[in-house]
Amino acid sequence: MAAFAPPPGTADIFAAEAARWRNLENTAASVFGRYGYGELRTPIFEYTEVFQKGLGNETEVVQKEMYTFEDRGGRSLTLRPEGTAGVMRALSNTDVLNGVEQRVYYYGPMFRGERPAAGRRRQFHQVGVENVGRCAPLLDAECIAMLVQYLHEIGIHDAKLSINTRGVMSDRGPAGELLRNYFVKHIDTMCDDCKNRLERNVWRILDCKQEHCREIVANAPDYVAAFSDESRAYFDEVKTALDAMGVNYTVDPLLVRGLDYYVHTVFEVSHSGLGAQTAIAGGGRYELYLPGQNKPVPGVGFAAGMERLMLVQDALGIAEDTQSALPFFLVGLGAAARMANLKLAGELRNAGISVMTALEERSFKAQLRAANKCNARYTVVRGDSELEKGVVMLKDMSSGEQQELSAENLSETLKQLITK
């Protein structure tokens, strides 16, 4: 039990775990790089209006979950609850406003004041991409295919991809009316959240999790039929392209996504190995208003929750080999031997070889224990007599075999030992 735990919904990540994070990040850089995406690092906090305007004031994230505070000058700042709005703010200083395409990926911590649970944190991490500046169905399809490829490359082959269309903004009026006219007849029996949503954002009723509300939702009218021909043709082309690329998906008319900025294609990836929080990634096409701009900028992208990706990897039994063996541990008996070992360690490290060396006066036994703890493949033992003879004792820790080596050119001898 930690004597001083970090705040609820946050976690410390130690070295063994960090190797798994790096693997998710490196694979992201590799896969997304192959599609022409470059890394963008934006600040962890932004002016609050970046999220209010970007995500929409009506979204649950903006209303209930943001960590907002004032800077010394009294300006309102917010820890980023997601990556898209900050990326768009950063890109507003580029030529995306003139319709030039930008492809960026990012990873890092995000912050939402949610009730912590398994797979739900207050500081969590996303790896995400945004393709900004252009709007075309094949851009959406390529982006989805890239997400699926990323999941494959981190060992997740059996995730479920759901897609849907939100139509263009001008479809929302007529289609929303259709839904409102239906739900108003049932609203008395629905949950309080849905009662609220009826006026404020009728679409969110579609993904209510309450059993009774879901029964009513199941019989809701086909709102996509009320979308414009343009919207339906757009969605058809996305599906045709996914089929052509061999990407498996299910069309889920109840998938609306929690953020207001989406238009046209939306998608979510879920996995049964996750328990209650089934979404490992989500995204879609959006139109986002940049602060100070009256014209929205189009984009398509997604973000995957890194903690959740690792939970799925755990469920699938995929573990990174984090306890890799340390090639050498240098055991030194006496001050002069320790000093010689310190010099040898420097030479090995310069040659790119990992090594640990005892730096304090400790017994032979204690040093061997330390070597075992580091999972050392070999120990190199040097005491006064070895120093005198100009040799060291090399011990293979798994077989127990020992041999004497000349101290002359020792770093080269040791290097050859592990590279042959």
Contacts with ligand HAM by CB under 6 A lie at: 82-84, 112, 114, 119-121, 124, 126, 128, 130, 258, 279-284, 286, 301-305, 307-308
Q: Write down the residue that tokens 């030039």 correspond to.
A: 100
State the nearest-atom distance from the C-beta of 50 to ligand HAM, in Å. 13
- 298 within 8 A of 96, measured Cβ to Cβ: no
Smallest distance, Å, CB 259 to ligand HAM?
A: 6
**Cβ 13 to ligand HAM, closest distance in Å?**
14
Distances in whole angstroms, Cα of residue 266 to Cα of each of 48, 84, 211, 376, 413: 25, 14, 24, 50, 59
Closest residue to ligand HAM: CB criterion:
305
Give the pairing of strands 76-79 and 68-70.
antiparallel
378: enclosing H helix or E strand: strand 376-382
Nearer to ligand HAM, 167 or 327 (CB): 167
Nearer to ligand HAM, 32 or 182 (CB): 32
Strand (E) or helix (H) holding 383: none
Asked whether 378 and 413 are in contact (CB, 8 A), the reply is no
Q: Which is nearer to ligand HAM, 304 or 337 (CB)?
A: 304
Least separation in angstroms between CB 30 and ligand HAM: 20
Distance CA 266, CA 162 (A): 8
Q: Residue 289's closest CA among 108, 110, 57? A: 57
Closer residue to ligand HAM (CB): 273 or 284: 284
Nearer to ligand HAM, 312 or 371 (CB): 312
133 or 305: CB nearest ligand HAM = 305
Pairing of strands 326-332, 355-357: parallel
CB of 232 to ligand HAM, least distance (A): 22
229, with CB counted inside 10 A (0-12, 13-18, 19+), is exposed
Measured from the CB of residue 82, what is the shortest distance to ligand HAM in angstroms? 3
